[in-house]
Amino acid sequence: MNQDILIKTVARLVMQPKGILAIDESLSTCNKRFEKLGVPTTEEKRREYRELLVTAPNIEKYISGYIFFDETLRQSTKDGRSFISVLESKGIEVGIKVDEGTTEFAGHQGEKITKGLEGLGERLKEYRKLGATFAKWRAVYTVGNNLPSEDCMKKNAEDFAKYAKLCQENDIVPIVEPEVLIDGEYTLEQSYKATARNLEVVFNELKRANIFFLGMILKTSMVIPGKDAKVSVSNIEIAQTTVKCLKEKVLKEIGGIVFLSGGQSDEDAIKNLNAMHQLGPLPWPLTFSYGRAIQNPALESWAKNPADVALAQKLLVQAAQSNSLASIGQYK
Catalytic site residue from 25, 51, 177, 205: 177
Of 65 and 76, CB closest to ligand 13P: 65
In angstroms, the Cα distances linking 303 to 135, 278, 294, 298, 311 are 29, 36, 15, 8, 12
Query: 102-104 and 112-114: which strand pairing?
Result: antiparallel
| Contact in structure between 105 and 141 (CB atoms under 8 Å) | no
Residues of this chain that interact with ligand 13P (CB under 6 A) are 22, 138, 177, 260-262, 290-293
190-226 burial, b for 16+ CB within 10 Å, e for fewer? bbbebbbebbebbbebbeebebbbebbbbbbbbbbbb
Of 84 and 182, CB closest to ligand 13P: 182
Which residue's CB atom is positioned nearest to ligand 13P? 291
- Type and span of the H or E element at 87: helix 83-89
Query: In angstroms, what is the minimal distance from the CB of 280 to ligand 13P?
Result: 26
Query: In angstroms, what is the minimal distance from the CB of 260 to ligand 13P?
Result: 4
What angle is formed at CA 249 by the lines to CA 289 and CA 324, rounded to 5 degrees?
A: 25
Query: In angstroms, what is the minimal distance from the CB of 204 to ligand 13P?
Result: 23
Query: In angstroms, what is the minimal distance from the CB of 315 to ligand 13P?
Result: 16
Of 66 and 253, CB closest to ligand 13P: 66
Active-site residue flag, 165: no
Catalytic site residue from 97, 112, 155, 219: 219
In angstroms, the Cα distances linking 160 to 203, 205, 251, 296 are 10, 8, 16, 29
Of 170 and 323, CB closest to ligand 13P: 323
Active-site residue flag, 219: yes
Query: 286-290 and 256-259: which strand pairing?
Result: parallel
Active site residues: 177, 219
